[in-house]
Structure 1
Amino acid sequence: METQLKGRDFITLQEWTKDEIDTLLEVSFDLKRKFAMGEPTPYLRDKTAFLMFFEQSTRTRNSMEAGLAQLGGHANFLDTSTMQVSHGEVAKDTGIILGSYGHAIACRNCVWEIGNKYLRSLANHAKVPVMNLQCDLYHPMQGIADLMTIKEKKKKTDNLKVSIIWAYATSHKKPISVPLTQALLFPRYGMDVTLAYPEGYEMPEWVIEQARENAEKNNGTFKITHDQDEAYREADIVIPKNWGSWVTNQDDAVIDDLLESNKHWKCTEERMAMAADDVMYMHALPADRGNEVEDSVIDGEHSIVFTEAENRLHTAKAVMTLTMGGK
């Protein structure tokens, strides 16, 4: 178990070793048990974190706010449209100042080709840990919760057939950060990962190279297909979720000809029947019901989305406990 994690930034799980991620998981499971038992966990008494949001949030904001309160600390929610950021204050100045007021900064900025750079600038100048609440490239808070949920429900990760599948949605042009994070993380745990999408929704080439390298080093596999039925066949876990065509098209229009030509990329009962008998359906939420997935699937016996969502609380608490507390 790694015990020297105080002060560590949490921007991408790719920068954390497997031992460090395993420690996060151990602490997450311990915090979940204590939450269920009503045991107090005042590990971060009098600690303050600043939560900067450039976009909307439900699970991320509330898991962080509730989580830090349950750890004995306080989270300041900051809508960046009401901050001097909206008048052009740079990340360096914001990071230095907020870092001097408390014990951590957490930020969500999903603007394509800006978000991750903004977080890196915060981290370079703040003297406290910086946590990524989702950027244009990574969503490590979701990734660690997904991994916890898979371990909890499947009791193993080696040789699990996990399919990350693009799905049709019209709610907004979504970041690539959730599937990108999963594509990098899951092969590190020996999973057999399939990334399925229609042409035009590619991941950056460096992601594919890194995912394959992660698989090779950890006895997993990683492959790409443009056939969604292939991704469902015999899968142990399916994660059908929309992401935008940011790599090939930087226009922020939600609906275009490419999107509309792929309406048939949808998680249905018929496709779920192609998978393993005990297949599990996952989604980071919010799901675009009726477009990405049929209600009968997301509300059905194979769905574990609400356990996955609850685990956002326990993993967020683990990240904060280890990076803000410790020795």
Structure 2
Amino acid sequence: MSDKFQDIINQLDNLDFKKLYQDDFLLTWDKSEDELKAVWAVADAIRELRENNKSAKIFDSGLGISIFRDNSTRTRFSFASACNLLGLEVQDLDEKKSQVAHGETLLETANMVSFMADVVGIRDDMYIGKGHEYQEEFSKSVQRGYEDGTLEQRPTLVSLQCDRDHPTQMMADTAHFNHYFDGVESLKGKKVALTWAYSPSYGKPLSCPQGGIGLWTRLGMDVVLAHPEGYEVMEDIVEMSKKQAEESGGSFTVTNDIAEAFKDADIVYPKSWAPFAAMEKRTKLYSEGDFDGIDKLEKELLEQNKEHMDWTVTEELMATTKDGKALYCHPLPADITGVSCEHGEVEASVFDRYRKDLYKEASFKPYIIAAMIFLQRVADPKAKLEELWNKDQPRVNDK
């Protein structure tokens, strides 16, 4: 066994993460700090297995069910990659092609797709008060099916984004921070600027900024949330973040000045999102089937966004960060000025300079999802990881 792999899995010795076993992963703030650290450690271990051409399969058969109620590229393929890496096949539930379109209840749907499923990944992020609620109801439905004997095993759930949090994204982004700097402990005292940025589109979810402040305030970081007036996020998550910052020894600040947020920042995370009040209104309009109202709201929001076109990442703004060398991050896809749009979240020169880092940031997500599944399905993760290494089953048999 390599010293690097041994060092990675030895991190699990001092962590209490037993509650992750046969549990769901819906919100980062529902997990202890030890449980989050276990996910990062197992993700690194699984990546080390793959990079050494060792199979990470813990399943001989089974399904990973993906339910995407919003469009996705990175998260969809990250979930499929994670499931395949562990030995599961993936089946996507397209609700338009299912009996959901004919009025099938969530209780019935959850049980019908879960007969041989070991994990269900759900993305439901567009409607305030609906996404996390849907995931919780799905969880209760499969638990009831298991207790009733309908299901031979209870599949665990992984949130692939909801209206409140984007746990796989934020955990992957933080894994990137850990590797860029020197581990999670090195993040204490680091200033991270999580800012709104101009986009020529509207309706982008709140879950990334909320997930960021909900996670990074727990790690002793100095977190600054910046946005124009009127682009507030959920107040209960803001209040939770303030409390977490106090408990961790970090800080949490909200400002309406992007320059203040960027000044001396170690990490910048500029991302467009829709105002909370507008997302609430849109959810109501959808529930009423008022599509004319939705079109009108969209036009109003696009005009509102145009009032803040100066909220964009420029070379001049990046120069004000710590030593002019802050780590620029984004969950992707970014709206790149002069490339994907006329005027967007970031100048092309800034994006191009950080392109390698951005793609590396994205590459952590399949391993984070695989680690969540691994910890939910394996009672003794360290022993299993040692077994996989020593088994030395080639992932690619090219000899």
Q: Fold-level match, TM-score > 0.5?
A: yes
Amino acid at match of 1:163: A
What are the Cα deviations for residues 148-195 of structure 1, in whole angstroms up to 9, with x where unaligned? 111110112100000100001123410000110011100101100000
For residues 195-214 of structure 1, the aligned pairs below 5 Å read: 195-214=225-244
How big is the shift at 1:323?
1.4
For residues 218-257 of structure 1, the aligned pairs below 5 Å read: 218-248=248-278, 250-251=281-282, 253=298, 255-257=301-303
Give the match for residue 320 of structure 1.
373
1:293 partnered with 2:341: no
What are the Cα deviations for residues 67-99 of structure 1, in whole angstroms up to 9, with x where unaligned? 211111111122222222233323222222223
Give the match for residue 40 of structure 1.
55
Q: TM-score, normalised by structure 2?
A: 0.78
1:270 partnered with 2:329: no
Between 302-311 and 33-42, the greater mean CA deviation after superposition: 302-311
* Partner residue of 1:107 out of 117, 122, 125: 122
* Partner residue of 1:151 out of 178, 188, 198: 178
> Percent identity among equivalent residues?
30
**Counterpart contact for 2:62–2:116, Cα < 8 Å:** no
Give the match's secondary structure for 1:163.
strand
Separation in 1, partners of 2:93, 2:307: 39
How big is the shift at 1:4?
4.7
**Counterpart contact for 1:204–1:247, Cα < 8 Å:** no
Separation in 2, partners of 1:194, 1:59: 26
**Counterpart contact for 2:79–2:121, Cα < 8 Å:** no
For residues 1-327 of structure 1, the aligned pairs below 5 Å read: 1=15, 2-112=17-127, 113-126=129-142, 127-155=154-182, 156-248=186-278, 250-251=281-282, 253=298, 255-277=301-323, 278-290=325-337, 291-301=344-354, 304-326=357-379
The verdict on how the C-alpha distance between 1:285 and 1:141 changes in structure 2, with shifts beyond 3 A counting, is same
Between 42-51 and 277-286, the greater mean CA deviation after superposition: 42-51
Separation in 1, partners of 2:176, 2:245: 20
How big is the shift at 1:302?
8.3
Separation in 2, partners of 1:132, 1:247: 24
Give the match's secondary structure for 1:234.
coil
Which stretches in structure 2 are left out of the alignment for 5+ residues? 1-14, 143-153, 283-293, 338-343, 381-399
How big is the shift at 1:141?
0.6
**Counterpart contact for 1:4–1:326, Cα < 8 Å:** no
Between 200-209 and 35-44, the greater mean CA deviation after superposition: 35-44
Between 252-261 and 162-171, the greater mean CA deviation after superposition: 252-261
What are the Cα deviations for residues 243-292 of structure 1, in whole angstroms up to 9, with x where unaligned? 11133552351643321101111011110001012310000011111101
Amino acid at match of 1:289: I
Separation in 1, partners of 2:252, 2:356: 24
How big is the shift at 1:6?
2.4
Give the match's secondary structure for 2:136.
helix
How big is the shift at 1:32?
1.7
Separation in 1, partners of 2:120, 2:89: 12
What are the Cα deviations for residues 129-161 of structure 1, in whole angstroms up to 9, with x where unaligned? 111111111110101101111111011210000
Q: TM-score, normalised by structure 1?
A: 0.95
Between 140-149 and 95-104, the greater mean CA deviation after superposition: 95-104
**Counterpart contact for 2:123–2:160, Cα < 8 Å:** yes
How big is the shift at 1:36?
1.8
Higher helix share: 2
Amino acid at match of 1:117: E
Separation in 2, partners of 1:131, 1:241: 23
The verdict on how the C-alpha distance between 1:4 and 1:206 changes in structure 2, with shifts beyond 3 A counting, is closer
The verdict on how the C-alpha distance between 1:268 and 1:303 changes in structure 2, with shifts beyond 3 A counting, is farther
Which stretches in structure 1 are left out of the alignment for 5+ residues? none
RMSD: 1.7
Give the match's secondary structure for 1:43.
coil
Give the match's secondary structure for 2:270.
strand
Q: Which has the larger radius of gyration?
A: 2
Separation in 1, partners of 2:64, 2:205: 25
Give the match for residue 7 of structure 2.
none
The verdict on how the C-alpha distance between 1:301 and 1:66 changes in structure 2, with shifts beyond 3 A counting, is closer
Separation in 2, partners of 1:303, 1:258: 33
Give the match's secondary structure for 2:160.
strand
Give the match for residue 289 of structure 2.
none
